[in-house]
Structure 1
Amino acid sequence: MKPDSNSVVDPGAGPAAPVAPRLAEHIEALVAAMTLEEKLGQLTLGTAEGAVTGPYLPEDYLAEIRAGRLGNLLNLWGAEAVRAAQRVAVEETRLGIPLIIGFDVLHGHRTVFPIPLAEACACDPALWEATARMAAAEAAADGVAMTFAPMLDIGRDPRWGRIAEGPGEDPWLACRFAEAKVRGFQGSDLAAAGTLAATAKHFAAYGAVTAGRDYASVDISERTLAEVYLPPFRAAIEAGAAGVMPAFVDLAGLPMTANAALLRDRLRGEWGFAGVIVSDYGAVAELVVHGVAADPVEAAVLALKAGIDLDMMGRTYLRGLPAALERGLVAMDEIDAALRRVLALKARLGLFDDPCRGAGPSAGGEAGAARALAREAA
C-alpha cells in the first residue's frame, strides 16, 4: 500500500510504521507553529568547518541556527562540539527543535575497518553487521545521529574512482551487504544508545558512469537498472533504512536529484519508502549546472517534487522555495510533507528527548574490543 505522503511515519521500522502518538502530536504542533523560513530551515543540511583539523561552527552558522534557518548539520563530531550546537538549537531558538548531526561513517569511525570492497569479499553478513554496529557506537558517542552509508553502488568498471567504497560487482552479494549494514547501524530501535540512522547511497546506478568518469552521465537499459543497480537499495529499504541519498549523476539526461519517476514513483510509491531522502552535497543547486533548471527557484521545485526532503549544502530550498510558493509552483502541503518526514526521523532518533543521545567519552565501547574486531575483519 502506498503511504500517505502527509502521514507521520517511523522511517527506521518498515515502510509505514507510525511513530508514538506523543511524538506524532508534537510534530503536528510544530508544523502548525512554524513559519515558512523555519520549515525550510528544517529541510536544510549545512556543514561544520574544519573537518580535517577538528570541527567547529563559525558564528554565522550559529546565527543561522538561532534564526531557524539551519536545522541540520554534517561533519560535526565530538560530544563537546555537538552539545554546544544542540544547546543553541534547543535553548536559543523559538521552537527548540534539535539538529540531525550527519557524518560519513563508511567503514569505521574511531576504529578503521576494511574498506567496503574488501569487507564484502569475506561474504560474512554477521561480520558486516558487527563492524557497522561498532562504528555506530563510536560515532554516536561523538554525537553523530545519521550516517551517509552504506554505499551500495554496484561497481563493474575499475576505472571508476569510488569503486572501493561499495560492495563490488554482484547484486546478490550487495543485497546481503545492504541488509547487514542497515541492521548494524540502526539496531532494532533508532532511539537506543549506539545507533545511527542509515542512508543508502547513491540511488541509483552511480557506478555505471560512462568510462568510469565520476559524476558523468549514465545511459543503461531499464533491464540493467532493474536487475543490477536497484536491488541493493530495495534490500536496504526492506531492512528498514531510515534514509536514501540520490546520486550526483544523470540517467539518460535527467539528474537523479530531479528524477521523480525513480524517487517519487518507484522508491516511495512502488517500494513504500517513507523515510528521508537527502540530496548529495550541493546536488539541488547543481540542477542549474546540469541545465535542467534556470535558477534556484526551478531547481528547488524540481527537487522537492521529485521527493528530496533534505537539501545538503547549497541552501537552494531556502533561496528558491519562497518564490516558488508565491508563484504557485509548489504547494505548502508539499513542503509540509517533507518537513514531517524530517521531524519524524528526529523523533525516532530520540532527539526530542535527548538531543545528544547520550554522547560522551564513555559511550563508545571498549577500544580493545573494537581493535580485535578490526583485526578479525582484516
Structure 2
Amino acid sequence: MDGDLAAFRAEVRDWLAAHLTGEFAPLVGAGGPGREHELTELRVAWERELGAAGWIGLGWPVADGGRGADIARQVVFFEEYARAGGPGRLSHIGEYLLAPTLVAYGTPEQRRRFLPPIARAQELWCQGYSEPEAGSDLASVRTTAVRDGDTWRITGQKVWTSLAHIAQWCFVLARTDPSASRHRGLSYLLVPMDQPGIEVRPIVQLTGTSEFNEVFFDGAVTAAANIVGAPGDGWRVAIGTLGFERGVATLGQQVGFARELDAVIAAARADGRLADPVHYDRLVDAWIGLRVLRYHALRTLGESAGANASVAKLLWANWHQRLGELAVDEPGAMLAEGEPYALSDAQRLFLFTRADTIYGGSNEIQRGIVADALLGKVGRR
C-alpha cells in the first residue's frame, strides 16, 4: 500500500472512531436493509455529520463539490466504515445514484442546485422506478407526465419506494410521449415530495416494519427545468442510474453484508454451532462468497451497465438470501422468545432476504440479460 493511501486509511479510521461516540454511539451496527426503521432521526443527524466532514460525495469531481477521490480511496472508506460499524446510510440514493447521474447527464444548473444539498445531507432522495405492472420490465411504466407551461404534471403510482417517507425529493421515470415506443417515450424527472399531489403509503413487510412505500402522484408538479436529459430520453438516463447503482454503490451495500455475516458467525460461536463441521463449512462458504462479491465489484468498476451488472445482482441476491437461511439454521430459530414477540435480528434477516431475488430486477430477468449478452457474443464469432 502506498504511503498516501495508508495515511488516508488512518484519517478515515480516526475520524470514525472519534465520531461514532457520544450521541452517535447507539448507531453502531444500526440500520441497513431490513432495519431501515431503526433510529431514523439520529441517522439523519449522522448523515449531516458525515456531510460536514466531506465524507459524502467522496468520489464526485472536485468541480461538483466532491473530493475527486479515486476508486482505491473510496474502497478504503467503505472498508473502514464497515469495520467501525457505521450505520446504514440514508443518503445513499442521492449520493450514489442521483449524483453520478447528474454529473453524467445533468445540466450545470441542475448540478449546482441539487448536489450541494446532497453533499450536506440536507435533502434525501428516493427512486421512483417500479410500478405495480412494471417492476423488472421497467419500460412498461404507466406513470405519466404532461407538460403544463413551466411545469410537468405527474399522475400515476410507484411501488417499493425505499425511504419515500423521509425523502424530500424523488427521481421519477414517467411516460411523457404515449405515442412513442416503450423505451422512447419516457422522461427522467426530479420531483419534490412535500406537496399536495403526492401521497406516501407504507408497505408492511414480513418483518412487520415499513421501509418500502407506495407513492401516488395525483397531478403532482415539478418545474419544467427538473428534467434530466431531453424529453423522451429517460430510458438512457434511467439505465445510466442503474449502472451507478451496481457500481461503487455496491461496495457500500457490502458494508451492511459484512456486518450481518459477522453477527451470524458470532451467534454460531456463542451457541456452539462452529463445532458442527457442516455448519462451519457453510459459514466459510459465506465468507468466501462475500469476497467474491467484493472482487467482482472491484473488477467491473468503471465499466458500463449490462451483463456485468446483472451478474453482480445475481451474486449478491442469492448470497444474501443464503445468509438469511444460515442465520436461522438451528432448531427453534424461527420461534419468538416471548412477549412482545419481536423479531430477532436473525429472523428479520431471513424474512427480509426472501425478496432479494425479486426486487431490483428478478433473477429471471438478470439471467436473461446475461444470456442475451453471451449468445450475442457467440453469434458474432
TM-score for the superposition, normalised by structure 2: 0.24
Higher relative contact order (CA 8 A, sep 6+): 1
Which protein has the bigger helix share? 2
- Bigger radius of gyration: 2
